Amino acid sequence: MHFYICLTLKVMMNKIEHIGIAVKDLDLSCNLYEQLLGVPAYKKETVASEGVNTAFFLTGTNKIELLSATSEDSVIASFVRKKGEGIHHIAFDVDDICTEMERLKANGFVLLSEEPKIGADNKLVCFVHPKGTNGVLVEICQEIKNKTNG
């Protein structure tokens, strides 16, 4: 006989929204991932404020984001210089990014921005410093709701 204490905990991180992969040449890597996954990128987008070009692939419900630098001082450029191409971040989908940022801060995590930023693929995003997450850069992202469609 076991006793279970039921707590109504709100789910904070819904799922892995995507995995971000840093690449040197977005066009070359788009061709490569198209061959690997058997589907073309469904979206390409530049986020000028972050210095990145992005391309998104969908396999089933799983999403891969390729990121390349738009300039030498882009965070992706310095990542590739230090670590080479490879997995750059893991992004989790959240319902309410501001609440989640507060929760993470309260738990001692260091956020890389004070406010959510506009990211690629219609998302509000915030990154968690990898020093506090076993070396993994974690992104939390919230879909920007289209007001006219509710």
What is the size of the binding site for Zn ion (CB under 5 A)? 4
Of 30-38, 40-48, 61-69, 74-82: span binding Zn ion (CB under 5 A): 61-69
Specify the residue, 37 or 47, whose C-beta has the smaller distance to Zn ion: 47
Q: Which of 26, 69, 91, 128 binds Zn ion (CB under 5 A)?
A: 91
Specify the residue, 34 or 45, whose C-beta has the smaller distance to Zn ion: 45
Show the 3-state SS of the chain. CCCCCCCCCCCCEEEEEEEEEECCCHHHHHHHHHHHHCCCCCEEEEEHHHCEEEEEEEECCEEEEEEEECCCCCHHHHHHHHHCCEEEEEEEEECCHHHHHHHHHHCCCCECCCCCEECCCCEEEEEECHHHCCCCCEEEEEECCCHHHC
Is residue 20 close enough to count as binding Zn ion by CB under 5 A? yes
Question: Which residues in 110-139 contact Zn ion (CB under 5 A)?
Answer: 139
Is residue 51 close enough to count as binding Zn ion by CB under 5 A? no
Residues in contact with Zn ion by CB under 5 A are 20, 65, 91, 139
